[in-house]
A and B are shown apart, each in its own frame.
Chain A
Amino acid sequence: MEKDYSKYTVQDFLFDEAFILLAYRGTEEKEIWHTLLKEHPEKTIEMEEARRILHSMTFAEDEISEAQLTSIADKVKQQITAGEYQKKRKNQLSSLYKIAASLVILAIICFGTYRFIDFDEETSTDIPLAAVHKSNPRGQKSKVTLPDGSKVMLNSESKISFPKKFDHGLREVHLEGEAFFEIKKDLEAPFIVYTKALKATVLGTSFNVRSFPEEDYTNVALSTGKVSVATIDSSDIQNKVVVLEPGRQAVYHKGSSKISEGSFDMEEILAWKNKTIYFKQANMADIENKLERWYGVDITVENTARKKVSLSTTFKDQPLSSVLKSLAFTLKFDYQKGKNEVIIRFK
């Protein structure tokens, strides 16, 4: 302290950076205070008043919530990723735009061990108040038009939320279950599908998203075009991002929190859209789940099969009764069919 404090007014102290720092540190710097007070006993009152004023000037913070913090960070990252992708494409693959414009199919399968209700609570903070929620019960599919004119075919036992009006420059929907999207192309406004664990960003195309609660992995599969897939984990600000090439899928396992890439079976992923039930080495639990969702019935298996069930077949646009008849023959079980209920009994 080399200044002449002897002439300082309260105001002068309040304008003195060194004094201000000292006052903020307060009791941690007792010795400096002591020295200062000893050197300028005549300024005791001024210094104390200045210190007092400084300490009274703490103001109520308008605090950002963790959810907001994460959501902004996510959007920044998405936009950055989308921007880099666009730039790259512009430079190298401008002709591919035409292809991208035609048809891009992305399939996302997303399973999680959470329940519907959890999903509701989790996402309700992220979805603006004027959100639209569309949901289908088991056994029902529907077509939904998004605010930008994009079309969505929503599978049964699935739910989609989106704002009444998309913010400029950003199109975001939240999905649980499965849906097929035909997205209006808009390179200015990336289209983002959020599921519990992953989000997929595309720049205008068509794609399939599947996100059911029963299983512990999430899957994004891309047919043509390009899409970025990122994890959504609020505890991890550096979320993982994978940019998918056509024919590749990203699989996210809940346990390991890692995304791995691989190929996928297109026919299987998009079968539902063509009213086709697709079984591929399905066990009895798979069959139960699929039929329950498809037809909106409760299925009870009274005794387990003697041999392990592994079924690979498809049913295109068939009523439950004929599917059951066929399965009963193949898998050797008896069944009773009530209104919304099926009881299966292995022989």
Chain B
Amino acid sequence: MIEEGPDHSKLSDGQLWTQLKANDQHALNTIYLRYIRSLYNYGFKIAQDDKLVEDVIQDLFVDFWEKRHRLSDVENVEAYLFKAFKRRLLREIHRLKKRTSLGLSDDLLDYEFPLQPSIQSEFINEEEQRSQQDRLAEALKRLTPRQREAIFLKYQQKLSFAEVAQVMEIETKAIYKLMSRAINTLKENMKLGMLACTLLLSDFL
């Protein structure tokens, strides 16, 4: 039975995790509210299927509750959530593919991870913004899915490199390599005009 809950919104992730392990359903709820949007965003980019993403998120949180006494102490809840979620999602995608026998590949990493630039207000004029975005969109297409995912986790989700490594389950060193290639490709394809850069700099001077 759930009564009106205490306000957990100011607790850190670590504190919430501890509370969750101590049978506090409100802690689970707060974690849910804190991360549902980013988990969904991430999950949809992997699965491209909102129903599936919803189901997996649901299972994930039900499991957290049911296995709360067995949950390990987690250093970084956000990275842990992303990792646990991704594993589960991939497993589910894999299972569905097998069932429909559409996917011949056994590769769990077989997903596209599409990324589109979002509209920004930073740019001085619309035309420049549009061409900038077009260039970025083109550049993003040239990346591998794994590169896009790393770029997303690092620069959109704003995880640390160590966290990105944890979520993607590869060595931090490998993340650097993956991402420097990605950034090279982006830079080459975006060909930022130096003039524009210098102009913008005046904002700070």
Contact = CB atoms under 8 A, between A and B. Distances in A.
Q: Do A and B come from one complex?
A: yes
B76 interface: no
Given A45-B194, A71-B54, A10 B187 contact: yes
Interface stretch (B10-18, B61-69, B81-89, B104-112): B61-69
B187 A53 contact: yes
Q: B32, B50, B55, B155 — which one has the most chain A CB atoms within 10 A of its CB?
A: B155
A58 B156 contact: yes
B65 to A, nearest CB: 5
Interface stretch (A61-69, A105-113, A177-185): A61-69
Interface string A46-84: 001100111111111111100011011101110110010
Contacts of B25: 80
Contacts of A142: none
A284 interface: no
Contacts of A61: 37, 41, 118
B1 A62 contact: no
A17 B154 CA distance: 10
Interface string A314-339: 00000000000000000000000000
Interface residues of B, number: 58
A237 B5 CA distance: 10
A20 B4 CA distance: 40
A72 B54 contact: yes
B21 interface: no
A227 B184 CA distance: 59
Nearest to A228: B1
Interface in B108-156: 115-118, 120, 122, 132, 136, 151-152, 155-156
A44 interface: yes
B158 A24 contact: yes
A10 B197 CA distance: 13
B54 A58 contact: no
B57 interface: yes
B198 interface: yes
Contacts of A279: none
B181 to A, nearest CB: 10
A241 B4 CA distance: 11
B41 A73 contact: no
B66 A80 contact: yes
Contacts of A116: none
A33 interface: yes
B77 interface: no
B36 interface: yes
B27 to A, nearest CB: 12
A238 B120 CA distance: 35
Contact of B29 (A45, A54, A59, A73): A73
Nearest to A82: B62
Interface string A208-243: 000000000000000000000000000001111111
Contact of B155 (A48, A57, A71): A57
B92 to A, nearest CB: 11
Q: B61, B160, B204 — which one has the most chain A CB atoms within 10 A of its CB?
A: B204
Nearest to B51: A128
Contacts of A242: 1
B80 interface: no
A30 interface: yes
A250 B190 CA distance: 62
Contacts of B161: 15, 17
Contact of A60 (B1, B117, B198): B117
Given A59-B116, A73-B29, A238 B5 contact: yes
A11 interface: yes
Nearest to B186: A53
A53 B108 CA distance: 31
A34 interface: yes
A14 interface: yes
A68 B54 contact: yes
Contacts of B54: 68, 71-72
B102 interface: no
Contacts of B165: none
7 contacts: A24-B158, A62-B45, A76-B32, A79-B58, A80-B25, A80-B65, A241-B2
Interface of B: 1-5, 25-26, 29, 32-33, 36-37, 40-41, 44-45, 50-51, 54-55, 57-58, 61-62, 65-66, 115-118, 120, 122, 132, 136, 151-152, 155-156, 158, 160-161, 176, 179-180, 183-184, 186-187, 190, 192, 194, 197-198, 200-201, 203-205
